[in-house]
Amino acid sequence: MLECIVTKFGGSSLANDEQFRKVRSILELEPTRRYLVPSAPGKRFASDDKVTDLLYACHALAAEGKPIQEPFGMIRERYLSIAQALHLKVDIESALNQVAEGIESGKNRDWCASRGEYLCGLLMADYLGWKFVDAAEGIRFHADGTLDDEKTQELLSALLADGQSAVVPGFYGALENGEVVTFSRGGSDITGALVSRAVNADVYENWTDVSGFLMADPRIVDGPSEISAITYKELRELSHMGASVLHEDAMFPVHQAGIPTNIRNTNKPYHPGTLITKNAPNEVSVPTITGIAGHKGYSVIYVEKNMMNSEVGFGRKVLSVLEEYGISFEHMPTGIDSMCVVVKSELLAPHREEIMARLEEMVRGSGSVAVNDNLSIIATVGRGMVRNCGTAARLFSAMSRARINVRMIDQGSSELSIIVGVNDSDFEATIRAIYHEFVG
């Protein structure tokens, strides 16, 4: 029997009064759903605006001393129409006026953006008859803008200790001096994870407008299968390579605390969605692969040097050059006298010449360096790979049948993923070939 569920609803789930009604009926279906983290109202239709974007626009206008009436009028209308349709009692007009005054009086960009969630939380708390807990009091940031994880856990658990059902707006927190700070875009997911950890939830339900993760990007593979179960480690690999439903940073607090995350669809409340767990579920048959994701636009820096293998510290020297320019590397397959460092081309571009000159200097007279661009990296991820032999053989045979040239291979030491590098022009064909080999 589940005792406590934290729910987070995304912007499209809160776009208008009809969506608010759906949210309430989802909560009524399961009384252990006792905490709710809202995003700001999102798009009602494709060409609509997200409230957060309108708030950023207001801030930009105010910063130039221009009137904010136009975008703020749209924001006002969004909240008032929800409040009126649902007959809410909360004085949202005054709250909206305070926000407008704040923006006009030069409040910082994060404060302005955070008001989308704040106002939405006020409406939702009134609609549900739940307590409103301002995230500025429960989520603490360090002065450098990073999350103060420990303090947040302490503050949030104290604020929610009375066990009363509560609405905690997503996306923001505050510095010790009370100044509001937001997470990066999509950050309400992180708030939901922090609230889940603070109340030691049994499940963190993240309600959105899709029924969970798909095995591959539907723009590349026709009607890909849904992923019903995945571990945090697998998801981390897929998210890093571009599978986006959940904010990457939302996984850490719940993963650490052993709380599963369930991605659910507000518009299909009976669909079980994707369940993300710390340990692999007890499955009768584990699918060999869980998902495929990838990105275009990488460069490979190739360094060759005689007797590289016996020169202690050479790899570190190469990486320290990249470090000096603030470039993180993605992969580093090595040979005896050569190494490749894979980096995002956009990060390399501004410093490319200086970096190459430095590396050339390091191998002068006994080696060479080169850069190759237009590399795509594709990760095929699956906890089932450990148990099934021949996975790599199948994957590479499928690629060879599709006449795709493999430019780089990196099998994760965890046996959780096989990473291949191909020409950007082969990106889509590679994903399709791998998908059809394993899924059909």
Which residues of the shown chain bind ligand ASP in the complex (CB under 6 A)? 11, 39-40, 50, 52, 116, 170-171, 185-189
Nearer to ligand ASP, 216 or 263 (CB): 263
Residue 301 Cβ, how far from ligand ASP at the closest point, in Å?
A: 34
Nearer to ligand ASP, 15 or 347 (CB): 15
Nearer to ligand ASP, 263 or 348 (CB): 263
81's tokens = 């129409």
Nearer to ligand ASP, 173 or 287 (CB): 173
Beta strands 229-231 and 274-277 are parallel
Residue 57 Cβ, how far from ligand ASP at the closest point, in Å?
A: 13
Nearer to ligand ASP, 41 or 273 (CB): 41
Residue 391 Cβ, how far from ligand ASP at the closest point, in Å?
A: 36
Q: Closest by alpha carbon to 239, among 194, 280, 276?
A: 276
Q: Quick check: 5 and 30 in contact, CB under 8 A?
A: yes
Nearer to ligand ASP, 39 or 290 (CB): 39
Residue 366 Cβ, how far from ligand ASP at the closest point, in Å?
A: 51
Q: Quick check: 140 and 174 in contact, CB under 8 A?
A: yes
Beta strands 291-305 and 261-265 are unpaired
Residue 184 Cβ, how far from ligand ASP at the closest point, in Å?
A: 8
Distance CA 329, CA 323 (A): 9
Residue 243 Cβ, how far from ligand ASP at the closest point, in Å?
A: 17
Nearer to ligand ASP, 52 or 262 (CB): 52
Q: Which residues contact 152 (CB under 8 A, 6 or more apart)?
A: 138, 139, 140, 173, 194, 198
Distance CA 401, CA 415 (A): 24
Q: Quick check: 363 and 305 in contact, CB under 8 A?
A: yes
Residue 263 Cβ, how far from ligand ASP at the closest point, in Å?
A: 14
Residue 261 Cβ, how far from ligand ASP at the closest point, in Å?
A: 15
Nearer to ligand ASP, 44 or 331 (CB): 44
| Residues forming a β-bridge with 325 | none
Nearer to ligand ASP, 245 or 404 (CB): 245
| Residues forming a β-bridge with 263 | 206, 274
Residue 170 Cβ, how far from ligand ASP at the closest point, in Å?
A: 5
Q: H helices then E strands: how many in the chain?
A: 15, 15
Nearer to ligand ASP, 55 or 398 (CB): 55
Helix (H, G, I), strand (E, B) or coil at 149: helix
Distance CA 143, CA 148 (A): 9
Nearer to ligand ASP, 179 or 249 (CB): 249
Residue 10 Cβ, how far from ligand ASP at the closest point, in Å?
A: 6
Residue 114 Cβ, how far from ligand ASP at the closest point, in Å?
A: 9
The three-state (H, E, C) secondary structure of 237-278, written as one string:
HHHHCCCCCCCHHHHHHHHHHCCCEEEEECCCCCCCCEEEEC
Helix (H, G, I), strand (E, B) or coil at 85: helix
DSSP string, 173-240: EE-TTS-EEE-STTTHHHHHHHHHHHTT-SEEEEEESSSS-BSS-TTTSSSPPBP-EEEHHHHHHHHH
Query: Which backbone phi and psi does 35 adopt, to 5 degrees?
Result: -130, 145
